[in-house]
Structure formats: C-alpha cells, structure tokens
Amino acid sequence: MIDIKLIRENRDLVKENIKKKFQDEKLPLVDEVYDLDEEVREAKLKGDNLRAEKNKLSGQIGLLMREGKKEEAEDIKKQIADMDAQIKILEISEEKKNALIKEKMMIIPNIIDASVPIGKDDSENVEVERFGDPVVPPYEIPYHADIIEALNGMDKTAAGRTSGEGFYYLLGDIARLHEAMISYARDYMIDRGFTYAIPPFMIHSDVVTGVMSFPEMEAMMYKIEGEDLYLIGTSEHSMIGRFKGQMIKKEELPIRMTSYSPCFRKEGGSHGLEERGLYRVHQFEKQEMIVLCEPEDSMKYYNDMWKYTVEVFRNMDIPVRQLECCSGDLADLKVKSCDIEAWSPRQQKYFEVGSCSNLGEAQARRLGIRVKSNEGNYYLHTLNNTVLASPRGLIALVENNYQEDGSVLIPKVLQPYMGGLKKIEPKK
C-alpha cells in the first residue's frame, strides 16, 4: 500500500505507475481516492471547528448559571447538543470514507523501482546473468519423475488415494536427499549471520492481507473452514507477520532471518498441476530468508539476497541464471523482483526455482511495522527470497547430476547430510 501523500501531491506519478504495470482498469481509483480524501479532510476540519466552538460554549454555562441566567445557559446546552449530533454524523462519515479509501488503496499497486524493465507479462522478463555453464550430456535425460521412480524415491499413486492430485510421497534416499538440500540451505544462511526460525504454519486473515495482494491470496491460500486461519503459502507470510503492529528500535535493524516451513498452495488456474511430476504441486518445503531494514538499505540487501540463492545452487553443481521480472509480472506490493532459474538438461531450458523481492514499505504500512527513532517514527522496508524450495530444487539436482547408468551423483556439500553417501543408484 502506497502513502496517500503520493495521491495528494502527485497523482500523475501514481497513474503512470499503473500504466507501466498495464493495469489501466485501476486508473479511476486514483481520482476516487483523491476525492474521498478531500471529503474526509473537509469533514475533519468541520468537526474540529465544531469541537472548538463547543468547548468555548461549554465554558460559558457555569458562568451563566452562577449569574442566574438559567434560560441562556439552557439555550447554550441545546446548541451543544446540536453540535454533538453534527460531530457524530461527521465522525461516522469519516469512518466510512476512510474504510473505503483503505479498500481502494489496497488495490493500487506499489511504485516500482526505476530499474524495472517495462513489459506486459513474464514472457517479457529479462535475463541478466548466467552462473555456470548449461550442459547437455551425450545421453538422454529422462523425465524427472521417471528418474526418481527408478530410484524407488516417489509414490504419487498412493498419495492420490490419501490426498488427491498434487500430492506425493518421497521415499528412501530421495526423501533423504530432499531433506539434505533443505538442511544445507538452512546452515548456509545461518553461516551468513541469519537467525534461524520455524514459524507458525497458519496465520490470521489480517496477516494474509498485510503481506500479499488480494489476487495472490485468492489464487494461493487455503482457508481453514470455520476459523480465521489460512495455511501459509510461504514462511515469509508468518515471518513478516511476526512484527505486525510493532515499533522496532532503529538500532535493532537490520533484522535478518531464515526460516523453514512446509508450504501449501492451491495452484489453480491455467497452468494446472503436474499429473506425474513434482514441479507444480499443492505441498512443498522451503528454506526462506527475510530482511527488515532501513529504507535506504533495501536495494543493497536485495542484491545480497538473490546472490545467496545463486551460490547455494552453484554449490550443488546446478547452473542457474538471474531473470529480472518486468513491470507486468510484478505482484502489486513489489518494488522490484527477480527469479532464479535452474538449468534443465532434459528440456534444454531454464525453469524457476526461487524468487527474490523488495516490497519497499508496502507490507510494513499494511501491518503497521514502524521504526522508532529520535527523528520520528517511520515505516521500514521488507524483503524476502527463496533460499531453496523442494521438490523443484530436487528436480534440478537429479537432472543435472544424472548419470548414464541411471544413478544420481550427490554434490559434495550434501554428502555430510547423507551419511557420506556419494551416489544414489537404481534399485535392482
């Protein structure tokens, strides 16, 4: 949510930003908010004037009563009663209009960074840099589900019986490899000074609307029937929500945390679920990182954060690239975002394995997270990034480490988490 001062002082900037995001249907919201804000401010001024006049008149009542001017005192009491009624009407009007302003402001997108490329959708995202050479071996790479099943590592048929489409069992060494990747990502972030956390896996609706836009919420979140609780789609939701309504001391910044959680997503829409594979599923596990920092430092942390993900994947012998998200692909709360994509030797193209986002003060403003300083209180900036999500990370690993004999090599950094195992071989 942007600062309403932007609409008061520079409506053209807000409208131009909406156009850059190709959301012209939202343009009328800017003028609607401006007009409502003018009405609220006018009502507030009238109310303040009435209160001042009321206080002035109230001071005369006692004096008139002492002078025996009871009739005049009663007339003033009637005037004050009329003023109270007017003030009440103005307060109700203010409250309703402020609620309407907030509702509309929640839909107006955040102001994107000047460096964001302009484009309509993800097809216009821009490759920035590659890390590691994408290799296509001289032998065929099977579909990842076939590789994993040959290693007795997955059972989606049974998961279909217990839970339905979009779920899976991971088994044996593959299940262990999946957890090894998450554990390595956790330790990697701890070694870089991030505080480790395991957050709640369910959150209230006011936290959900504080951390994400309504379209995202509708497309992603599972609601617990009969309760004000949602299953998290990523631990960023509950990690940022931890600071809801808090005043943070300036000297406590930056707050840098890394969190583990299972994640739950509807994955509805045109892209659908993976019938056989593990790329798009309802449930997965993730190591996340978040940063709360001074506004002037957020771009520095943004660049640090996506590079951590690159290094994690490169340490597992997986080539990756950074892809800058264009304006039309940015969720409404984001100032700037990039995807980290891993190389698929089977498809001979890259696919998304993580996303890094700078949300400016949007989440802090929605959740009321402020910094306390001697110069006055202000909203901080929030950022989030995927360290590693699996099974997408697992897909990248098995494809890039697949051998012609059907085995999968285990990268050196993961071997300590696998009891020293160096290779997973097909079961005879």
The pLDDT assigned to 199 comes to 97
d(CA 311, CA 107): 36
- The helix/strand/coil state of 229 is coil
- The answer to whether residues 60 and 76 touch, using CB atoms and an 8 Å cutoff, is yes
Residues 6+ apart with CB under 8 A from 9: none
Rg (CA), the chain: 28
Residues counted in the chain: 428
Q: Which of 364, 102, 5, 117 is nearest to 14 (CA)?
A: 5
**Max Cα-Cα span within the chain:** 109
CB environment 216-238: b (16+ within 10 A), e (fewer):
ebeebbbeeeeeebbbbbbbbbb
pLDDT recorded at residue 73: 84
**Which domains, from first to last, does the chain contain?**
4-105 (1.10.287.40), 122-424 (3.30.930.10)
Residues 6+ apart with CB under 8 A from 300: none
What is the DSSP secondary-structure string of 352-391?
A: EEEEEEE-TTHHHHHHT-EEE-TT--EE-EEEEEEEEEET
Dihedral sign, Cα of residue 30, residue 31, residue 34, residue 37: negative
Long-range contacts of range 411-416, CB-CB < 8 Å, 24 or more positions apart?
411/315, 411/316, 411/317, 413/184, 413/315, 413/316, 414/177, 414/180, 414/181, 414/184, 414/316
SS3 393: helix
Q: pLDDT tens string for the chain (428 positions)?
A: 899 999 999 999 999 999 999 999 999 999 999 999 999 999 999 999 999 988 888 888 878 877 888 888 888 888 889 999 999 999 999 999 999 999 999 999 999 999 999 999 999 999 999 999 999 999 999 999 999 999 999 999 999 999 999 999 999 999 999 999 999 999 999 999 999 999 999 999 999 999 988 777 778 899 999 999 999 999 999 999 999 999 999 999 999 999 999 999 998 654 556 678 899 999 999 999 999 999 999 999 999 999 999 999 999 999 999 999 999 999 999 999 999 999 999 999 999 999 999 999 999 999 999 999 888 999 999 999 999 999 999 999 999 999 999 999 999 999 999 999 999 999 86
| The pLDDT of residue 268 | 61
The stretches of 67-170 forming alpha helices (DSSP H) are 70-105, 144-150, 156-162
- What pTM, to 2 d.p., does this model score? 0.90
Residue type, position 388, single letter: L
Q: Is 224 within 8 Å of 202 (Cβ atoms)?
A: yes
Residue 70, number of CB atoms within 10 A of its CB: 10
